[in-house]
């Protein structure tokens, strides 16, 4: 059987304050948006920048780190996997889809709300460098409570 890989690595800025909730099973979940940008040069030498928005979700201890240290404008390096979930819209009855990155590991790269430069991993161990590792447990409990989050262009941190 051939091996497969589903891994996402992103470096970007948080677009708005994370939303913190609990899943139906009681697992803490954080949803947030991350903006990455790519600069391209056209034939005339003009540089254009394209911003791509990514939906992120973190569970358990990683969601706690997001809650405690991540704000709008925080620069993050994340590692995770790509996941698409679907549900039936209660109002229209249509099938809805959301593609997101399930965060397994995150590193805070710039200042955030009152942190001391340290965070705690899933096993309760302190690490310097503000790196947080978490688990995707509870991801199957994800339900429609998160829905599609609309982003306001005025919320772009750069």
- pLDDT tens readout for residues 8-62: 999 999 999 999 999 889 999 999 999 999 998 888 889 999 999 999 999 999 9
Token pair belonging to 45: 């030498």
pLDDT-based confidence at residue 116 (cuts at 50, 70, 90): very low
Domain positions in the chain: 8-36+47-146
- Ranking 72-76, 101-105, 117-121, 131-135 by mean pLDDT, the lowest is 117-121
d(CA 12, CA 9): 10
What average pLDDT does this structure show over 141-157?
48
* CATH number for the segment(s) 8-36+47-146: 2.40.50.140
Q: Residue 64 pLDDT > 90, yes or no?
A: yes
pLDDT-based confidence at residue 78 (cuts at 50, 70, 90): very high
**Contact (CB, 8 A) for 72 and 157:** yes
């Amino acid at each position: 059987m051939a091996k497969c890989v589903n891994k996402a690595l992103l470096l970007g800025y948080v677009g708005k304050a994370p939303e913190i909730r609990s899943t139906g099973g009681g697992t803490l979940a954080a949803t947030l948006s991350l903006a990455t940008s790519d600069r391209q040069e056209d034939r005339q030498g003009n540089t254009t920048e394209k911003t791509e928005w990514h939906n992120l979700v973190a569970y358990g201890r990683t969601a706690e780190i997001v809650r405690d240290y991540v704000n709008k404008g925080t620069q993050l390096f994340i590692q995770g996997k790509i996941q698409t979930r679907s549900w039936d819209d209660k109002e229209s009855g249509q099938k809805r889809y959301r593609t997101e990155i399930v965060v397994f590991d995150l590193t805070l790269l710039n200042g955030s709300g009152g942190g001391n430069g340290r965070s705690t991993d899933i096993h309760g161990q302190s690490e310097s460098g503000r790196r947080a590792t978490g688990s995707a447990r509870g991801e199957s409990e994800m339900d429609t409570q998160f829905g599609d989050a609309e982003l306001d262009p005025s919320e772009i941190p750069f």
